[in-house]
Structure 1
Amino acid sequence: MAYTVTPSPAGPVGSQYCVCKVELSICGQNLLDRDVTSKSDPFCVLFMEVNGKWVELDRTETAVNNLNPAFAKKFIVDYHFEEVQKLKFALFDQDKSSTQLYEHDFLGEFSCTLGTIVSSKKITRTLLLGNGKPAGKGMITIAAQELSDNRVITLSMAGRKLDKKDLFGKSDPFLEFYKPGDDGKWMLVHRTEVIKYTLDPVWKPFTVPLVSLCDGDMEKLIKVVCYDYDSDGGHDFIGELQTSVARLCEAQDASPLELECINPKKQKKKKNYKNSGIIIVKSCKITRDFSFLDYILGGCQLMFTVGIDFTASNGNPQEPSSLHYINPLGTNEYLSAIWAVGQIIQDYDSDKMFPALGFGAQLPPDWKVSHEFAINFNPRNPFCSGVEGIVQAYSACLPHIRFYGPTNFSPIINHVARFAAQATQQETASQYFILLIITDGVISDMDETRHAVVQASKLPMSIIIVGVGNADFAAMEFLDGDSRVLHSYTGEEAVRDIVQFVPFRNFRNVPKETLAKAVLAELPQQVVQYFKQQNLPPINSEPA
């Protein structure tokens, strides 16, 4: 999607990569009729490309005598944001009971990336025959859904008049929450902190995934056990209760839910036993802990911009020693970085029009230095069509500019930040901006760049820096706030880490996919963190 100018606390971090399961639902329309006496009996086979070969993952059931099937069997695929996952959906007319596909009539196929499907949520495309021509009027519709229960439950608990267990004092109570395990035994889910010397404790609110607490089943029985803490580990049992999340949800801030804490042994022994205290549910809230895929399926577009370093330290592009020299294979480190990142990101942008900017060069006709120029020399329309368009514009501009300097990052960062700031006026999770800067060296405007990054950290924006060549990239590591919080020269702190720096030299002798994984590893987390800080749910999200 091209930029259009219109007037108008981070959760716990999961695994390094964004991995989750996606369910794909398949329908066919107007399939070819391969049977003489009846209609085709179609089934769909899913393949994934692995090391350049198509590998079958799964197949649906057969829809008997049906040219417009809606298959009940769903395909479940692991989704990896930072990989290009190529899928092929092939339809066949079942003729025999054989599992060999060549025994069945081919009805057409469609190939795309998993990223294309999830970024659109639902796509309908023409089926093609082996020769690339349409399979009659045959179409396939693929719909994606994330397979996860992203609900979390936040509980505020307290106690009143709990049994006194310590000889010389009160009790040191804590709670444990259990759910029934598959083996029929109670399984510990959560333990609160210990509150010392009190029979009327108030525990800190805590949040756990609803799946952890009750397997997502609000009616399932859960057990809450209250103990008196002992430093030797021999905690004294105070009492317990059984309830369900549905019951806990009756608690409101104004009217807490009170549950009796029972000690079964005391209950049996004492006739007038009432309880061992009261456990109070002060509040119970269920919300959704949205994932990166929730935002993408909700319609969030990733807006990709490339910034390319054309300073003199890169060397004369006509000479093989230059970092901008395009070798006989038609590539260099700049192009490799553009391809590695661009081929992933482009699936998440509906019109695939990307601004490509250069900095540090003298431009014709007056040869003034520019630190943010369109590499297609069209400042009104700096957009390139897809990654191929960026590559073509890059190759075409090299003979027409003079490499110069200095290496200033802040103009390009501020350029993208202006569009990101405009996107915040919509107050929806609809756009997130990614700036890829490829550079060969030391930043000249470090103070201004630090300031620009700190300001950009408040916006829906991330910056990926790929360092090419063999220069000292210590300053880049400094911008990448993995080990410490970045500060502006004014002393202002970045509200989140938005810079990911990777030196290309670490990836020269490994598959190109490895660079994409390293460069994009933190991006899903950064997208989610920003929208959560702004309290923005995915556009089409359902209430918890």
Structure 2
Amino acid sequence: TQCVSKVELSISCSNLLNEDAGSKSDPLCVLLQSIGNDKWTKKLLLAYHFEKVRKLKRGVYDIDNKSVDLNDDDFLGGFECTLGQIVSSKKLTRPLQLKKGKPAGKGTITITAEEIKDNRAIVLEVEAKGLDKKQYFVLLIITNGEITDAIVKASRLPMSIIIIGVGKANFKAMELLDGDDGILKSLSGEPVARDIVQFVPLRQFANAPKEALAQSVLAEVPSQLVSYFKMLKLDPVNVPALKA
């Protein structure tokens, strides 16, 4: 089961350019997702995957007619970032830009992200960050050969282990540590308490975009974090609603 949180984005703008002579502009903010040409003009409800890089582009237009075609409307400025940047900032304010990066006067756009409260996965993630004297760690190992580690003992600790293999070495042992094909056991036969290892061979991403590598590297961290708190039988806390 994937750990996915629903986030609601609220967008506001200030100091927009006035393209209408003798009257105020009628601004409309359009959000274009990198995965398609979908458009929204209200509060946006999006699925946030911790491991995925989701690029978002926003454009603010002065609407002068009832046509849905934006090509005949004045462009007041735009802004690009990732959904992860918005979620981590909670409230993000940036200057609007015209085409080719030219500043759109003093215009700014503010995007506020609020996680939907009834999503259990995101509540657990927030709890992990806010627990008193408890932290969760991610150990990154970059290797050009085979390595071994005390994975079984570490499986009871608040940590995940990400191993990135570089070069053309035989990484068969690393794939066994991953534990995806069976339960990993120590030499004494003790099984791991939970899966904490993610192994990624870098050579498989030689011709892939960097976002694909990032997604593969981080793919199992959310579920591993949740499994740790389930193992300790720690209940999620009530997360207060974000103030506007």
Q: TM-score range by the shorter chain?
A: 0.7 to 0.9
Helix, strand or coil at the partner of 1:33:
coil
Q: Does the CA-based 8 Å contact 1:43-1:59 persist in structure 2? A: no
- Write the distance in 1 (CA, Å) between the matches of 2:224 and 2:204: 23
Q: Does the CA-based 8 Å contact 2:7-2:113 persist in structure 1? A: yes
**Relative to 1, partners in 2 of residues 1:495 and 1:541: Cα closer, same or farther, differing over 3 Å?**
farther
CA shift for structure 1 position 44: 0.4
Helix, strand or coil at the partner of 1:496:
coil
Residues 245-278 of structure 1, C-alpha deviations (whole Å, 9 max, x = no match): xxxxxxxxxxxxxxxxxxxxxxxxxxxxxxxxxx
Q: Does the CA-based 8 Å contact 2:117-2:239 persist in structure 1? A: no
Helix, strand or coil at the partner of 2:71:
helix
Helix, strand or coil at the partner of 2:111:
strand
Name which structure has the greater RCO, CA cutoff 8 Å, separation 6+.
Answer: 2
- Write the distance in 2 (CA, Å) between the matches of 1:479 and 1:117: 35
CA shift for structure 1 position 496: 1.7
**In structure 2, what is the equivalent of residue 466 of structure 1?**
164
**Relative to 1, partners in 2 of residues 1:538 and 1:142: Cα closer, same or farther, differing over 3 Å?**
farther
Which one has a bigger Cα radius of gyration?
A: 1
CA shift for structure 1 position 528: 1.9
- Write the distance in 2 (CA, Å) between the matches of 1:462 and 1:538: 22
* Mapped pair 1:115 → 2:84: yes
**In structure 1, what is the equivalent of residue 226 of structure 2?**
528
**In structure 1, what is the equivalent of residue 10 of structure 2?**
25
Which 10-residue stretch deviates more, 533-542 or 515-524? 533-542
- Write the distance in 2 (CA, Å) between the matches of 1:541 and 1:58: 30
CA shift for structure 1 position 20: 5.0
**In structure 1, what is the equivalent of residue 213 of structure 2?**
515
**In structure 1, what is the equivalent of residue 39 of structure 2?**
58
Which amino acid is the alignment partner of residue 528 of structure 1? V
* Mapped pair 1:144 → 2:113: yes
- Write the distance in 2 (CA, Å) between the matches of 1:498 and 1:118: 25
Which structure 1 segments of 5+ residues have no match? 1-13, 61-72, 151-289, 302-422
**Relative to 1, partners in 2 of residues 1:501 and 1:122: Cα closer, same or farther, differing over 3 Å?**
same
Q: Does the CA-based 8 Å contact 2:53-2:215 persist in structure 1? A: no
TM-score, length of structure 1 as denominator length: 0.39
- Write the distance in 2 (CA, Å) between the matches of 1:134 and 1:536: 48
**Relative to 1, partners in 2 of residues 1:106 and 1:295: Cα closer, same or farther, differing over 3 Å?**
farther
CA shift for structure 1 position 131: 4.0
**Relative to 1, partners in 2 of residues 1:536 and 1:120: Cα closer, same or farther, differing over 3 Å?**
farther
* Mapped pair 1:537 → 2:241: no
- Write the distance in 2 (CA, Å) between the matches of 1:469 and 1:143: 43
**Relative to 1, partners in 2 of residues 1:41 and 1:538: Cα closer, same or farther, differing over 3 Å?**
farther
**In structure 2, what is the equivalent of residue 192 of structure 1?**
none
* Mapped pair 1:435 → 2:139: yes
Q: How does 1:91-130 map to 2 (within 5 A)?
A: 91-130=60-99
**In structure 2, what is the equivalent of residue 262 of structure 1?**
none
Q: Does the CA-based 8 Å contact 2:61-2:75 persist in structure 1? A: yes
Q: What RMSD over aligned residues (CA atoms) do the two structures have, in Å?
A: 3.0
- Write the distance in 2 (CA, Å) between the matches of 1:509 and 1:33: 45
Q: Does the CA-based 8 Å contact 2:117-2:123 persist in structure 1? A: no
- Write the distance in 2 (CA, Å) between the matches of 1:300 and 1:149: 17
Q: How does 1:444-483 map to 2 (within 5 A)?
A: 446=148, 449-450=149-150, 453-483=151-181
Q: Does the CA-based 8 Å contact 1:424-1:460 persist in structure 2? A: no
Which amino acid is the alignment partner of residue 454 of structure 1? V
CA shift for structure 1 position 123: 1.8
Q: Does the CA-based 8 Å contact 1:120-1:299 persist in structure 2? A: no
Helix, strand or coil at the partner of 1:119:
helix
Q: What percent identity do the matched residue pairs reach?
A: 55
**Relative to 1, partners in 2 of residues 1:439 and 1:94: Cα closer, same or farther, differing over 3 Å?**
same
Q: Does the CA-based 8 Å contact 1:108-1:127 persist in structure 2? A: yes
Which amino acid is the alignment partner of residue 35 of structure 1? D
CA shift for structure 1 position 116: 0.8
